[in-house]
Amino acid sequence: AAMVQKLGKTVGACPPTLPFPLLDIEDLCKARSLKTCEAVVADLGPPGAKDVDACRPVIQPLLDKLFNGKIKGQGLDLVGQLKAARKEMFEFIDVQNCNPIMVRLGWHDSGTYDKRRTEFPDMGGANGSIIYAPELNHGANNGLNKAVNFLKPFHKDYPLISWADLIQMGSAVGI
């Protein structure tokens, strides 16, 4: 953090105290077993960092998820979960640089639509069915299991969001 601060960077989850993406902070908290906001700032922040309260709103939900069994979407209605997931997904897709595969997943999920069929789910479309083996294992969908795996933590953290909506959100955010 001290080097990033010297470079004048003001990016990350809680700049200038924690100038790292939230996903990196999550990995470091797991690896170093950092279970309090104070421990995170002391371990990951620049020497002498004391601005724990400014980082608490960002870091505490992450620590709750990692160590207290809470899920991110807990206590939020569907709209709240959609907004929170979208915000988190922007950072995730940017950090992972997985834009193309997320767009491809959304495209292939919707590509099963057949206007000649009138009954749901026979008509296909963007219904989330690509997460199931018969469709995911189809040759045209080769490699999309990686994108589905990217979305599994989101589905766990935001249980009110359907697979269909999550896949299409990933595609839209990827664009």
Q: Which residues are catalytic?
A: 108
Residue 92: how many other CB atoms lie within 10 Å = 21
Residue type, 12: G
What's the sign of the alpha-carbon dihedral 57, 95, 172, 106?
A: negative
Cα 106 from Cα 173, distance rounded (Å)? 11
Residue 32: how many other CB atoms lie within 10 Å = 12
Give the pair of three-digit tokens for residue 24.
């990196």
| Neighbouring residues of 167: CB distance < 8 A, sequence distance ≥ 6 | 105, 106, 109, 126, 128, 130, 131, 151
The residue behind tokens 């990951």 is 44
